[in-house]
Structure 1
Amino acid sequence: MPARPTPTVAPSPDGLPVPRRYWAIVSIGLGITLAVLDGAIANVALPSIAQDLQASEAASIWIVNAYQIAIVVALLPLASLGEIVGYRRVSQAGLAVFTLASLACALSDSILTLSLARVLQGFGAAGIMSVNGALVRFTYPQRLLGRAVGINAVIVSMAAAAGPTIASAVLSLGEWRWLFALNIPLGVLAVSMAGFTLPQNPLQKRRLNLVGAALSAAAFGFVITGMQALAHGEASILGFGLTGLGLAAGVLLVRHERPSKTPLIPLDLLARPMFALSVATSIISFTAQMMAFVSLPFFLQGSLGLSAVETGLLMTPWPLATMFAAPLAGWLSDRYSAGILGAIGLSLFACGLMGLSFLDGDSSKFDIIWRMALCGAGFGFFQSPNNRALLSEAPRERAGAAGGALGTARVLGQSMGAVVVAFLLSAAPVSGVRHGFELAAVAALFGAVMSGSRIRRRTAEPEKEVEAV
Structure 2
Amino acid sequence: MQTDTDGLPPERRRWAILALAVAIAMAVMDSSIANVALPAIAADLRVSPSEAILVVNAYQIAIVCSLLPLASLGELVGHERVYRTGLALFVVASCFCAMADSLTWLTLSRIVQGFGAAGLMSVNTALLRFIYPQSRLGQGVGINALVVALSSVTGPSVAAGILSIAHWPWIFAVNIPVGLLAFLLAWRFLPQTPRARRRFDAASALLSAATFGMTMTAFEQFTHGAPAWRGSLLLAGGIIAGILLVRRQSGRPAPLLPVDLLRIPVFSLSVATSICSFAAQMLAFVALPFFLQHSLGRTQVETGLLMTPWPLVLIVMSPLAGRLSDRIPAGLLGGIGLIVMATGLALLATLPAAPTAIDIGWRTALCGMGFGLFQSPNNRALLSAAPRERSGGASGMLSTARLLGQTTGATLAALTLRLAGENGAAVALSVAACIAGAAAVISFTRLAGRRPGAA
Same fold (TM over 0.5): yes
Please name the residue that 2:158 is paired with: 166
* Correspondence for 1:400 among 392, 407, 412: 392
Alpha-carbon separation, structure 2, partners of 1:199 and 1:308: 46
Q: What CA RMSD, in Å, does the superposition of the two structures yield over aligned residues? A: 1.2
Would you say 1:62 and 2:59 are equivalent positions?
Answer: no
Tell me, yes or no, if the aligned pair for 1:157 and 1:320 is still in contact at 8 Å: no
What amino acid is aligned across from residue 334 of structure 1 in structure 2?
Answer: D
Would you say 1:105 and 2:111 are equivalent positions?
Answer: no
Tell me, yes or no, if the aligned pair for 1:161 and 1:316 is still in contact at 8 Å: no
Please name the residue that 1:293 is paired with: 285
Runs of 4+ in 1 over 4 A off after TM superposition: none
Question: Structure 1 stretches of 5 or more lacking a match?
Answer: 1-8
* Deviation (angstroms), 1:110: 1.3
* Deviation (angstroms), 1:464: 6.0
Alpha-carbon separation, structure 1, partners of 2:228 and 2:428: 21
Would you say 1:185 and 2:177 are equivalent positions?
Answer: yes
Superposed counterparts of 1:245-394, under 5 Å: 245-359=237-351, 361-394=353-386
SS in 1 for 2:32: helix
- Report Cα offsets for 1:280-313 as digits up to 9, x if no partner: 1101101101110111122222222222222222
Question: Structure 2 stretches of 5 or more lacking a match?
Answer: none
Alpha-carbon separation, structure 2, partners of 1:333 and 1:446: 21
SS in 1 for 2:439: helix
Alpha-carbon separation, structure 1, partners of 2:342 and 2:357: 20
SS in 2 for 1:173: coil
Would you say 1:455 and 2:447 are equivalent positions?
Answer: yes
- Report Cα offsets for 1:13-56 as digits up to 9, x if no partner: 42111100010110010111000111121111111111111111
Please name the residue that 1:3 is paired with: none
Tell me, yes or no, if the aligned pair for 2:2 and 2:130 is still in contact at 8 Å: no
Please name the residue that 2:201 is paired with: 209
Q: How many residues align?
A: 455
Please name the residue that 1:195 is paired with: 187
SS in 2 for 1:456: coil
Tell me, yes or no, if the aligned pair for 1:304 and 1:360 is still in contact at 8 Å: no
Alpha-carbon separation, structure 1, partners of 2:426 and 2:419: 13
Deviates more, 1:289-298 or 1:311-320: 311-320
* Correspondence for 2:415 among 410, 423, 433: 423
What amino acid is aligned across from residue 267 of structure 1 in structure 2?
Answer: V
Tell me, yes or no, if the aligned pair for 2:2 and 2:191 is still in contact at 8 Å: no
- Report Cα offsets for 1:129-162 as digits up to 9, x if no partner: 0001101111100000111111111111111221
Please name the residue that 1:144 is paired with: 136
- Report Cα offsets for 1:187-224 as digits up to 9, x if no partner: 11111111111122110011110000000000000000
What amino acid is aligned across from residue 99 of structure 1 in structure 2?
Answer: V
Please name the residue that 2:14 is paired with: 22
Would you say 1:81 and 2:81 are equivalent positions?
Answer: no
Alpha-carbon separation, structure 1, partners of 2:281 and 2:33: 19
Please name the residue that 1:4 is paired with: none
Alpha-carbon separation, structure 2, partners of 1:402 and 1:204: 15
What amino acid is aligned across from residue 234 of structure 1 in structure 2?
Answer: A
What amino acid is aligned across from residue 111 of structure 2 in structure 1?
Answer: V
Task: Name the CA shift for 1:430/1:360 in 2 (closer, same or farther; >3 Å).
Answer: farther
* Deviation (angstroms), 1:361: 4.7
* Deviation (angstroms), 1:463: 5.0
Tell me, yes or no, if the aligned pair for 2:90 and 2:117 is still in contact at 8 Å: yes
SS in 2 for 1:431: helix
SS in 2 for 1:206: coil
* Deviation (angstroms), 1:360: 5.0
Tell me, yes or no, if the aligned pair for 2:208 and 2:241 is still in contact at 8 Å: yes
Identity among equivalent positions (%) equals: 54
Task: Name the CA shift for 1:404/1:42 in 2 (closer, same or farther; >3 Å).
Answer: same
TM-score (norm 1): 0.95
- Report Cα offsets for 1:55-83 as digits up to 9, x if no partner: 11110111110010000000000000000
Task: Name the CA shift for 1:426/1:122 in 2 (closer, same or farther; >3 Å).
Answer: same
Task: Name the CA shift for 1:440/1:214 in 2 (closer, same or farther; >3 Å).
Answer: same
What amino acid is aligned across from residue 347 of structure 2 in structure 1?
Answer: G
* Deviation (angstroms), 1:370: 1.1
SS in 2 for 1:455: coil
* Deviation (angstroms), 1:457: 2.5
